[in-house]
Structure 1
């Protein structure tokens, strides 16, 4: 898949084509993949010596199609049969990143990667038949609702997702701006399902944001590795350096990946000439190494990661950590170590096949797939960053028990209103904390959490999350850089 435009946001932000999201893509002729194959839209030659179906295999498929068309109890759509067969073949690969997109889905994908689009703002993939969150895009409805990497989406608006194709699951989640998506979520460590109601919105995500702190430490946040991210990063880096930057934090939290050559261009200035940035290994075990032409940097660098840092973000962390002398700060990353190519001319009808063609390895030859990259310095986010939104199904009041009350208590505690406990029991202390919040917010001081109070509290939470002073992960990364500057 080749990205166009200034961002891919959450590729389709749950308007996306699901597992296409967490994709490390390559472009024509890169890493030993024949350019002719990419130009023609056909896959590289089959190494086993056979390409396409044998006569016997073709006869078998034709026989099944004929049987269905002649004997099935009702008429069938022939196109659905063919699409179903292709989906079956892709499913047999047992690889969540290899998918078939039918014409309409592929068309939406091509349109949505260009710029702004609507959705809930989350990346998903399929793991063991379950729809799993990869990351929630910063500022999106998904992030505001508290969706986390590794959360499992059980149902959407009452429709169960178990056993459905990933593209079908995404179709149920996506929708026009302003419409609601009621999600049921399962999360490790939380025994009961979490009920969330998100309002789909238009999401236009810039990919690079930079600033120079008063202490001389620069922070560059990369939200996606789209085609223009490399250029934007170089511009911002040059600007920070020209202003006397002493050290740098590169923030790739909740960055789901993107285009491989782009992340290589971002990493190159930080890795000294001759050192490897990334290696790509094909199915025969042949490796091709990308070697840096950069010079390295004289100032200390930290790469800030979390559970939602995937694919290209992990390439960057691996390259700078193993070959560029950077310190990795945060949480263990998502763990996506494969490379995909999209073939949009194979079928000839506007549909698209995206397929995993190789592994990628860190400069030291480590394959981080399903393991992730462990940080050198661990830094967990505050609980308020990951708390689920409050359900509006009932008014919360004293003596109530459950996950919704626990979320309330975490929100109160994280915004400075001490509830006395955070175990999900609505105690006298919790009621007093609610009353204090309501008074400060100009609301009726009832001690009960109705829709108005819940909305006001969530807005307070969002305000707190956006305040850098309370971002303990970023502050830890800055401390690490500052310590190295002082050496």
Structure 2
């Protein structure tokens, strides 16, 4: 306060030098005999106008410098990104301008996008061109024409996650974990998942030839394409107990929830008082569909799943009317699952196991614990990539681990055998692993035959029995494609009648 008051006074004194002198003279003490010099007042240091404005300018300069530093810090990531993109743009421009052949802009851009997604080393993150986008839309809407198998990229091959129930792939004998080595004679080693799918799919009634590796065995099979209704939910009363409804969910698509409601209501009218829900071989599908169906079996407020993005807290999804429209299943339930149960099928299984304490019967599930998002890039392409991981109600991440069943039960050994290659003829005198495989199948079905790898008289007699049983025109003991179809039709019937997992599921739900 003193400085502010003295400053104008000081300025007035400087501007009037005479007054200052007079004032000073009058203010000194009288002289003595010892000294004739005048005593001078001490000089007080005061701010000038120059000092005032200079201080303001310095403050402004400091503020501007600080502001520039803050802005530079904020835009540094953008500058780094621009530098990185400049490298990509440089390559793009160089290739476009100097490549020895003309290259389309679209080809280069698509290649760059696909390359970025491939660098993630994530089989579920991929670039989708116009055909692949259409294929994805067909899959989630519930029907398409093809063989009906969920696949993913594996090392040097395309791996079958699971054939869809009732699909041409399942009828042909393809199984979860089979490796597709070739499609129509062309290697799949360098194919993306969507490139492979586009080659496998085709018009209903046409055939695709696949070379399959199952364990140590490799075989070739021709699969007739058909219409695949993968959104279907089918149900029936158990033959052994008419109070138990058996419900099979083949996939989780747009209309699966409505199909589930319809099937439950129908089975209730037919007398079902408990249910076995079968998601074996279900490769997954839409998360919203899994949420809707899971909510039907849980009390409102119980946790279905959690979704955790790279940052932030997990988002918790709970059962409620917004998912199930108020439709609830309160009857006793068990769930059947296996290694072909993946993604949305695992969301459903984990929700019922952990929140509703429903027993899971079967084998370890596949273990896909990630969430993908589809983002349109332009009018004819999309990008599907992993944006989060999903957790079970208790916070577990089942990725690459799967869900452990409460009651273990598996298919008969006959279900785990490789397939006999199509297009091959086996007859008296034939030798090799294909003959051994035929004999193993026949023996498991109850035919009198020894496994020797040699097509002997006993094998001829067994094949004749098979042909007669199927009422084939030729019953000559020669094994060719018509007899092969008859063999696997009988295998399918055997597996239905000896379904150890379903038998264990019915036993478990009866005890509830």
Q: Under TM normalisation by the shorter chain, which class is it?
A: 0.7 to 0.9
Equivalent position of 1:457 in the other structure: 487
Equivalent position of 1:175 in the other structure: 202
Aligned residue pair count:
430
In the alignment, structure 1 residue 193 sits paired with structure 2 residue 218: yes
In the alignment, structure 1 residue 331 sits paired with structure 2 residue 373: no
**1:328-387 CA distances to partner (integer Å, 9 max, x unpaired)?**
11121111111111112xx22321011111111111211111111121112211344454
**1:33-55 CA distances to partner (integer Å, 9 max, x unpaired)?**
xxxxxxxxxxxxxxx99579833
Offset of residue 100 of structure 1: 0.9
Say if 1:273 and 1:293, in contact at 8 Å, map to a contact too: yes
Q: How does 1:3-152 map to 2 (within 5 A)?
A: 54-111=81-138, 113-152=140-179
Offset of residue 327 of structure 1: 1.0
Equivalent position of 1:404 in the other structure: 434
Offset of residue 196 of structure 1: 1.4
Distance 1:448 1:300 in 2: 50
**1:56-86 CA distances to partner (integer Å, 9 max, x unpaired)?**
2232122212221232222222211110000
Equivalent position of 2:388 in the other structure: 358
Say if 1:154 and 1:186, in contact at 8 Å, map to a contact too: yes
Q: 1:308 aligns with which of 328, 333, 340?
A: 340
Distance 1:410 1:52 in 2: 67
TM-score, scaled to structure 2? 0.77
Q: 1:218 aligns with which of 245, 251, 254?
A: 245
Say if 1:107 and 1:350, in contact at 8 Å, map to a contact too: no
Distance 2:498 2:403 in 1: 25
Q: How does 1:270-349 map to 2 (within 5 A)?
A: 270-284=297-311, 286-293=313-320, 299-344=331-376, 347-349=377-379
Equivalent position of 2:57 in the other structure: none
Instruction: Specify whether residues 290 and 448 from structure 1 end up closer, same or farther in structure 2 by C-alpha distance, changes over 3 A only.
Output: same
TM-score, scaled to structure 1? 0.81
Equivalent position of 2:424 in the other structure: 394
Considering Cα pairs closer than 8 Å and 6+ residues apart, tell me whether 1 or 2 has the greater RCO: 1
SS at 1:216 equivalent? strand
Would you tell me which structure has more helix in proportion to its own residues? 2
Distance 1:138 1:406 in 2: 28
Distance 1:318 1:382 in 2: 25
The Cα RMSD (Å) is: 2.7
Offset of residue 242 of structure 1: 5.0
Distance 1:426 1:87 in 2: 50
Equivalent position of 1:163 in the other structure: 190
Distance 1:157 1:168 in 2: 13
In structure 1, runs of 5+ residues without a counterpart are: 1-47
Offset of residue 101 of structure 1: 0.6
Distance 1:241 1:440 in 2: 38
Equivalent position of 1:25 in the other structure: none
Say if 1:414 and 1:461, in contact at 8 Å, map to a contact too: no
SS at 2:141 equivalent? coil
In structure 2, runs of 5+ residues without a counterpart are: 1-74
Distance 2:336 2:318 in 1: 23
Instruction: Specify whether residues 54 and 206 from structure 1 end up closer, same or farther in structure 2 by C-alpha distance, changes over 3 A only.
Output: closer
SS at 1:258 equivalent? coil
In the alignment, structure 1 residue 370 sits paired with structure 2 residue 400: yes
SS at 2:378 equivalent? coil
In the alignment, structure 1 residue 268 sits paired with structure 2 residue 267: no
Say if 1:196 and 1:388, in contact at 8 Å, map to a contact too: no
Instruction: Specify whether residues 298 and 204 from structure 1 end up closer, same or farther in structure 2 by C-alpha distance, changes over 3 A only.
Output: closer
Equivalent position of 2:48 in the other structure: none
Distance 1:179 1:218 in 2: 36
Offset of residue 318 of structure 1: 0.6
Of residues 218-227 and 449-458 in structure 1, the stretch that sits farther from structure 2 once superposed is 449-458
Equivalent position of 1:35 in the other structure: none
Q: 1:254 aligns with which of 276, 281, 290?
A: 281
In the alignment, structure 1 residue 439 sits paired with structure 2 residue 468: yes
Instruction: Specify whether residues 94 and 441 from structure 1 end up closer, same or farther in structure 2 by C-alpha distance, changes over 3 A only.
Output: closer
Say if 1:321 and 1:328, in contact at 8 Å, map to a contact too: yes
